[in-house]
Chains A and B, each alone.
Chain A
Amino acid sequence: MPPPTCLRSFSQLSLDSAARASMASRARAHAQMACFSTSAARYANPVSKKKGMAQTKKGNKTLNVKKGRNTVQDTGKRPAQGERKAARKRIVLTNDNALEVATLKDMTKADVLSEANQGRVLGIPEATVDALRAVEAFKTTQGWSLFRRPATLMRKETIELAKVMKAAEDDKKTLRRVLSGERLSGKSTLLLQGLSMAFVRQWIVINLPEAQDIINAHTEYAPLPDSQPTQYTQETYTASLLSQILKANNTAENPMLEKIKVTTSPALPLALPADATLKQLIELGIVNPEASWPVFVALWQELTQPGRPPIMLAVDGTAHMMKESDYLNAEVKPIHSFDLTIIRHFIDHLSGAKSLPNGGVILAATSQSNAPSTPALDFSVQVAEARQVDPSKTPRWNPYKNIDPRVMEALKDLHSPTAKEQLKPLDVIKVGGLSKDEARSIMEYYAESGMLRAKIDDGFVTEKWSLAGMGNIGELERASVRLRI
């Protein structure tokens, strides 16, 4: 090989030497590569890879479009069972960052039902807060977590309800009220105020926190023996309701259920100890869910004996119980909600078929956020609302809508012409907007809690009152406390 290489090299060298004499050595190397033989390159030692190159290649990200390869390994810890639901349902009732309102007074047994409270913000006593928590009266959507401790505005509607409760207490009447109104107008809060007033007045309180939970077919059901037409009991739900009743009505400062002895001889599937108290009766139903409905019936019978305290019976989300439930009967037909024993018990009292001998109030709050269509209920409420404004102008029934005759029958008292008496047995409390005085009062409370940093004067109150759609309290809270711009 050397001869041709050398010859060519020399000839190249002679050509280039004139132009680039200084770079002769480089030119020689270049000439070697340009010759026809490849042996030199072949026998040469392999070129070691440059260190930098491999590293840059490694770090490069390439687009990976292959399916089925886990690109991201999820190493996060999964939430424990029930943890997410607990977080969703958590009720926070205090805010350590909010200021204590020095002027805030609590509801007291003596004056909670007095009309002088109108327009005041009253705190809910601690024991009552525990009881309200036990009956699940607080909702996650309400703004309790913004303030130091729970307090409510005694608005016009609250005073109306207080009057009803006073009448029920004094004259041992059974008065029934349906709470209606726009979205965020404070129906559930008014219900809560009714419950807290009842707790403060040491009534017996039975609250069905959400009608939807009763009818959505998530708990066990079974036909009630010897019922015609067939009714259905819900033992798990009834047992949990009994435990709520016990927890809420048998507090440390008012152990009312421990004091009352069982006087009737209820027919129970399980033996009750001799000389038992109502607490023991309820515990029997909690421990043995299969006996929970007979225990509830026995409890109700005990509570309606003469000399017992008045009863507050309440439900939220009423529309759900005014239709067919999600349960199926043996013929695979939907069971009407009124055939579920708990709902029937409530509806019997709401419709006036049964009354409370010791007096009491039946409260049914409607909802605008979570409500199935129930034309019969909507129409009945509309009629009652219209009658309050002008008895001669009531709306007509739309014949193209499906009527549920059982619901219409249950609510027929809402359609009856206005009696001259002061308090109708069944009526609607329309929860409207706040007046400007009430709005000012609640906004002063916001400001004193340190949650609203503004000077509360007429102009400011009017501005927020208007922004809140003429004093809708939920919108008012949104506009003044929650919304930070």
Chain B
Amino acid sequence: MPFISNINFTEGTLVKRSLETFFGIGPKVSQSIMARFHIQPWAKVGSLKASTLLDLTAELSNMKIENDLRREIQDSIIRLKDMGSYRGRRHAMGLPVRGQRTRTQIATARKLNRTLRGGDGRLGM
């Protein structure tokens, strides 16, 4: 079973898909990582050489992903809150931050806008 950044993937998983399980890696970033290491878009994890897997792990260890990225987001929200800014307050109250109306349609804001945004830890595949 191949490991990327200490996470175990089944051999049949697409490399693209396995990279995108990491918080902070989406379609664009995964495409650029794969292009850098010359991995074709439909490659599966099982077909990668051991050296390529190590390269990918090294690449991911240099990137701000997963908990580091979550912490950065949380830190910037806490900074807003500590300054006592309007945006910080709105985050703390779980309300829209950028001047949207609050009469209806604020479910997303209620779900996401909180000081500890993004939860904690890897949610799994």
Q: Which residues of A contact B (CB under 8 A)?
A: 217-223, 232, 326-332
| Contact indicator A330/B36 (Cβ below 8 Å) | yes
CB distance from A238 to the nearest CB of B (A): 14
CB distance from A362 to the nearest CB of B (A): 28
- Chain B interface size band reads 10 to 19
CB distance from B50 to the nearest CB of A (A): 13
| Contact indicator A222/B38 (Cβ below 8 Å) | yes
B105 proximity list for chain A (CB < 8 A): none
Subset of 18 A-B contacts with CB under 8 Å:
A217-B42, A218-B42, A220-B43, A221-B38, A221-B40, A222-B38, A223-B38, A232-B38, A326-B41, A327-B40, A328-B31, A328-B34, A328-B35, A330-B35, A331-B35, A332-B32, A332-B35, A332-B36
| B10 interfacial contact with A, CB 8 Å | no
CB distance from A73 to the nearest CB of B (A): 26
CB distance from B78 to the nearest CB of A (A): 35
Which of the listed residues B32, B34, B38, B43 has the most CB atoms from chain A within 10 Å of its own CB?
B38
| Contact indicator A217/B32 (Cβ below 8 Å) | no
Nearest opposing residue in chain A for B31, CB measure: A332
Q: 8 shortest A-B CB distances, which residue pairs?
A: A328-B35, A217-B40, A332-B35, A332-B32, A330-B36, A222-B38, A218-B42, A217-B41
Additional pairs, 14, CB under 8 Å, beyond known A330-B36, A332-B32: A217-B42, A219-B40, A220-B43, A221-B40, A222-B38, A223-B38, A326-B41, A327-B40, A328-B34, A330-B38, A331-B35, A332-B31, A332-B35, A332-B36
CB distance from B80 to the nearest CB of A (A): 34
Interface SS of chain B: helix
| Contact indicator A220/B40 (Cβ below 8 Å) | yes
CB distance from B73 to the nearest CB of A (A): 26
- Quick one: which of B31, B35, B47 contacts A220, CB cutoff 8 A? B47
Q: In the bound complex, what is the Cα–Cα distance between A217 and B38 (angstroms)?
A: 11
Q: In the bound complex, what is the Cα–Cα distance between A221 and B34 (angstroms)?
A: 11
- Quick one: which of B31, B32, B38, B40 contacts A218, CB cutoff 8 A? B40
CB distance from A221 to the nearest CB of B (A): 6
A326 proximity list for chain B (CB < 8 A): 41
Nearest opposing residue in chain B for A218, CB measure: B42
CB distance from B32 to the nearest CB of A (A): 5
A329 proximity list for chain B (CB < 8 A): 35
B42 proximity list for chain A (CB < 8 A): 217-218
Nearest opposing residue in chain B for A234, CB measure: B40
CB distance from A289 to the nearest CB of B (A): 11
Q: In the bound complex, what is the Cα–Cα distance between A385 and B42 (angstroms)?
A: 39
B43 proximity list for chain A (CB < 8 A): 220
B41 proximity list for chain A (CB < 8 A): 217, 326, 328
